[in-house]
Chains A and B, each alone.
Chain A
Amino acid sequence: ACGGNDEGNVNEDNNGADNNAGGDEEAADGEAADVEPQQWRFVVEETQGQVQYVYAEEFAELVSEKSDGALEIDVYEFGALGSEVDQVEQLTDGIVEFAIISPGFTGTLVPEGNIFALQFLFTDDQEVNQDILNESEAINEHLAARYEEQGIMPLSFWTEGAMQWTGNSELRTPDDFQGFQMRTQESPLILESYRAYGASPTAMSWGELYTGLQQGAVDGQENPIFFIADANFNEVQDHMTISNHNMYVTMTTVNPDFYNGLDDATRDIIDEATEEMRQRGFDIQEEQNEEFLAQIEDDDENPTEIYELSEDERDAFRELAIPVRDIYRDEEGGEEGEMILDMLEEEIADMSGEDPTETDGDTEENEDEE
């Protein structure tokens, strides 16, 4: 007998009963929709407790609530179903219905998505950046179309927080990067960015990175703070630079055939959940990044000197990072990419050039919508 199926049936019955008990109330609110019961799978690139996993769990809860428990989403943490690249293929093959996919892992499939590897492209205000991700036509229409051609349908682009540098020496000026062995993802544009600063970027597998940093096989790495603390890199690194040189962008995606084949009521539930999760996603990463920043600051056993770059210091890096955009325009992104980058640069200028008070207003408006 198939244990899995038996268990599944029992769960369904339970959920049905539970939700009927509380269902009347919701029905009175007019929020509960009548949809066919379905079970879906949602795979993420991070493990339990990390930003993507928490996001996916909350997404699953929202969908379940909105459907009176008819729509169940089972969240698979990273590692259960293979590598990040495997997960992409599993989404396009319809083996999983939902996935969180970072453009960094699909660079060979959708080279235009490497746009997010460009450093100092976005602003250093993460809320503004999230607004850009939410509203940009370049991203949500033109770039999203490139993904859809490959069987990946982005529902939303969102940030997991600003990327920071850690090192066994100070990283404040491009001079500090001379001969510095920087561990990065295996993406040509990221490698080029660090070469532009004078560093020697190297790829190293995740499993070896802690020991590699400890023993000095590599000198430093880049990641959002929650990732740095979760992997305990601060234990083996003496310095952390709040560089905000980039942000870690990821996408909530669905298999397009699956999504387009849904009835309207079901699809509306997914769309609503996606919209509500925009702010929640931002909050989850902000909470985690702040909490872990405090934890690194308070760790007296493994002291880490934390330094925040000034605007001038950021400019020194920005100057070196801007020519890398031409590599994206000419080689990586192709014609379509060039158009997307030009449009995105304009949008960023528009949105960051606005009066700061107006930017704040925008954010509040977003919150009101929910």
Chain B
Amino acid sequence: MLWTLLGVMVLLLLLGFPMMIPLIAGPLIIILFFMDGLEPTIMIQQMVEGISSYVLIAVPLFIFAADIMTSGRTSQKLLDFVGAFVGHLRGGYAITTAAACTMFGSISGSTQATVVAIGKPMRERLLKVGYKDSSAIALIINSSDVALLIPPSIGMIIYALVADASVGDLFIAGIGPGVLIFIFFAVYSYIYAKIFNIPLAPKLPWKDRGDVTLKALLPLGFPIIIIGGIYTGQFTPTEAAGVSVLYALILEVFIFRSIKLTEIPNIALSSGIVTAAVFVLVAGGQAFSWVISFARIPGMLTDAVLPADPTALNVLIIVAIFFFIGCMFVDPIVVILILTPIFAPIATAAGVDPIHLGVVIVFQAALGSATPPFGVDIFTASAVFNKSYLDVIRGTPPYIIMLLIISVLVILFEDISLFLLNIF
């Protein structure tokens, strides 16, 4: 039964079916052919259950807020701000890119939004000062991946939903690893610029810096609202997402006047399409999760890949490998939906902190989705920048190696994710 299930799902995925189909067809086949007397209507119940969580409502809201800002000027202000302070350093433009991606990641929940908002304008600046296109694109893809770790993060919301963990805590725990990635990338950018002798940009006078800082103050309010609001008890993560929509509207429509109010429904349409595509997956994922729990499958599978009495480290390593490989092929959300219900119970039994587990999983999702051959980010970048597949992957190896190193660190030292939680 187990192998039928996985076989059908992998086959449908690889053939290029819409991803909701393997998620729905897998459990449907199990119910129809392996479960005597079980009515398939149970799947519908669980599909409803899957998208009924109040926490999940944060997802369309963060997507909407990011879409509003991507159509407006927020990202431009952030770029000017970071550029004014670090643009003149050795590797300054690359560092600016990494920093701006990290910052925009702290506004938007998704890698794709960050690639579009920061990647598009930064790629032109990078090319102008002499970066090779392949290294510029590699930098952008991998820096944008930080968006999954820095709050808000759609990946974390989905994990929290499946593992019944606190979204607020996960958000905080993602900051450490996210910043660590930025530091690695910044150091690498510095060394790279030194070796390839990338010319320096002029240093901005302090007056101009003050000017751009003032203009960036408003966009910099997002992380304060999201993290600050959640952690002072002003609102829940879902409400924080709602407030960031309101904030984005006020900023772009009334203060920057970059978007007309009449354009908002069309922006909402694009958020609505993405939401629907993601939520159908979440619905199917819950149906899948129910069937494997009901048939007691997690035990069977983990018996096959784990030693009898696994340590926390055993589990984390297996989890990391499975999620990494999974996310190399399939959208991270689907992987989180499928694998979390299988591994979370075993991880908890082995004494892994569920928040740390969430960070490791989301980290692997970020890493896997940037890794050739099939990481989804590569296809996003290929579409956004209109470059061939090979051009997009050529520059990625150094970043993948750095991310692998950081991922080992994150697995070994749970304090990288948990120390901020202990301070708060």
| Residue picked from A80, A86, A207, most chain B C-beta under 10 Å | A207
Chain A residue numbers with a CB within 8 Å of B231 are: 215
Whole-angstrom distance between the alpha carbons of A96 and B62 in the complex? 38
- A205 adjacent to chain B (CB < 8 Å): yes
A81-B290, A82-B45, A207-B55 known; A215-B237 Cβ under 8 A: no
Chain A residue numbers with a CB within 8 Å of B235 are: 217
- B197 adjacent to chain A (CB < 8 Å): no
Give me 8 other A-B pairs in contact (C-beta within 8 A), A7-B300, A83-B52 excluded: A79-B164, A93-B39, A205-B55, A207-B166, A208-B236, A211-B166, A215-B231, A217-B235
User: What's the minimum C-beta distance from B316 to chain A, rounded to whole angstroms?
Assistant: 21
Chain A residue numbers with a CB within 8 Å of B54 are: 205
Closest B residue by C-beta to A204: B236
Residue contact A207 to B294, C-beta cutoff 8 Å:
no
Could you show 20 A-B contacts with beta carbons less than 8 Å apart?
A: A5-B1, A74-B296, A76-B294, A82-B45, A82-B49, A86-B49, A95-B38, A95-B39, A95-B42, A205-B55, A206-B164, A207-B166, A208-B167, A208-B237, A210-B166, A211-B168, A211-B169, A212-B233, A215-B231, A217-B233
Q: How large is the interface on A (under 10, 10 to 19, 20 to 34, 35 or more residues)?
A: 20 to 34
Contact with A along B137-164 (1 / 0, CB 8 A): 0000000000000000000000010001
Q: Which of A4, A76, A207 contacts B293 (CB 8 A)?
A: A76
Closest A residue by C-beta to B54: A205
Residue contact B160 to A207, C-beta cutoff 8 Å:
yes
Residue contact A207 to B165, C-beta cutoff 8 Å:
yes
Chain B residue numbers with a CB within 8 Å of A79 are: 164
Which residues from 279 to 335 on chain B have a C-beta closer than 8 Å to any C-beta of chain A? 286, 290, 293-297, 300
Residue contact A2 to B55, C-beta cutoff 8 Å:
no
Residue contact B166 to A93, C-beta cutoff 8 Å:
no
Q: Which of B45, B236, B293 contacts A217 (CB 8 A)?
A: B236
Closest B residue by C-beta to A79: B164
Chain A residue numbers with a CB within 8 Å of B164 are: 79, 206-207
Contact with B along A188-210 (1 / 0, CB 8 A): 00000000000000001111101
Whole-angstrom distance between the alpha carbons of A81 and B34 in the complex? 18
Contact with A along B163-186 (1 / 0, CB 8 A): 011111100000000000000000
Residue contact A93 to B294, C-beta cutoff 8 Å:
no
Chain B residue numbers with a CB within 8 Å of A15 are: none
Q: Interface of chain B, helix or strand or loop or mixed?
A: helix
* B binding-site residues for A, Cβ under 8 Å: 1-2, 34, 37-39, 41-42, 45-46, 49, 52-55, 160, 164-169, 230-237, 286, 290, 293-297, 300
Contact with B along A56-99 (1 / 0, CB 8 A): 00000000000000000010100111110010011001110000
Contact with B along A323-362 (1 / 0, CB 8 A): 0000000000000000000000000000000000000000
Compute the total of residue contacts between A and B using a CB distance below 8 Å.
Answer: 80
User: What's the minimum C-beta distance from B263 to chain A, rounded to whole angstroms?
Assistant: 34
Closest B residue by C-beta to A41: B294
Whole-angstrom distance between the alpha carbons of A89 and B34 in the complex? 21
Residue contact A3 to B236, C-beta cutoff 8 Å:
no
Closest B residue by C-beta to A215: B233
Chain B residue numbers with a CB within 8 Å of A174 are: none
> When A and B form their complex, which 9 residue pairs have the shortest distance between CB atoms, in order from nearest?
A215-B233, A216-B233, A80-B293, A2-B1, A217-B233, A211-B168, A82-B49, A211-B166, A3-B300
Chain B residue numbers with a CB within 8 Å of A205 are: 53-55
Whole-angstrom distance between the alpha carbons of A365 and B303 in the complex? 49
Whole-angstrom distance between the alpha carbons of A3 and B298 in the complex? 12
Chain A residue numbers with a CB within 8 Å of B45 are: 82, 86, 89-90
Chain A residue numbers with a CB within 8 Å of B160 are: 207
Q: Which of A81, A206, A215 contacts B294 (CB 8 A)?
A: A81
User: What's the minimum C-beta distance from A220 to chain B, rounded to whole angstroms?
Assistant: 13
Residue contact B233 to A208, C-beta cutoff 8 Å:
no
Residue contact A86 to B46, C-beta cutoff 8 Å:
yes
User: What's the minimum C-beta distance from B337 to chain A, rounded to whole angstroms?
Assistant: 14
Chain B residue numbers with a CB within 8 Å of A80 are: 293-294
User: What's the minimum C-beta distance from B393 to chain A, rounded to whole angstroms?
Assistant: 38
Residue contact A93 to B41, C-beta cutoff 8 Å:
yes
Whole-angstrom distance between the alpha carbons of A212 and B168 in the complex? 9
Whole-angstrom distance between the alpha carbons of A3 and B302 in the complex? 13
Whole-angstrom distance between the alpha carbons of A82 and B164 in the complex? 11
User: What's the minimum C-beta distance from A76 to chain B, rounded to whole angstroms?
Assistant: 7
Chain B residue numbers with a CB within 8 Å of A1 are: 1
Contact with B along A87-114 (1 / 0, CB 8 A): 0011001110000000000000000000
Residue contact A4 to B300, C-beta cutoff 8 Å:
yes
User: What's the minimum C-beta distance from A203 to chain B, rounded to whole angstroms?
Assistant: 9
Closest B residue by C-beta to A208: B236
Chain A residue numbers with a CB within 8 Å of B295 are: 4
Residue contact A93 to B1, C-beta cutoff 8 Å:
no
User: What's the minimum C-beta distance from B53 to chain A, rounded to whole angstroms?
Assistant: 7
Closest A residue by C-beta to B234: A217
Closest A residue by C-beta to B169: A211
Whole-angstrom distance between the alpha carbons of A207 and B165 in the complex? 6
User: What's the minimum C-beta distance from B155 to chain A, rounded to whole angstroms?
Assistant: 16
User: What's the minimum C-beta distance from A180 to chain B, rounded to whole angstroms?
Assistant: 14
Residue contact B1 to A215, C-beta cutoff 8 Å:
no
Closest B residue by C-beta to A80: B293
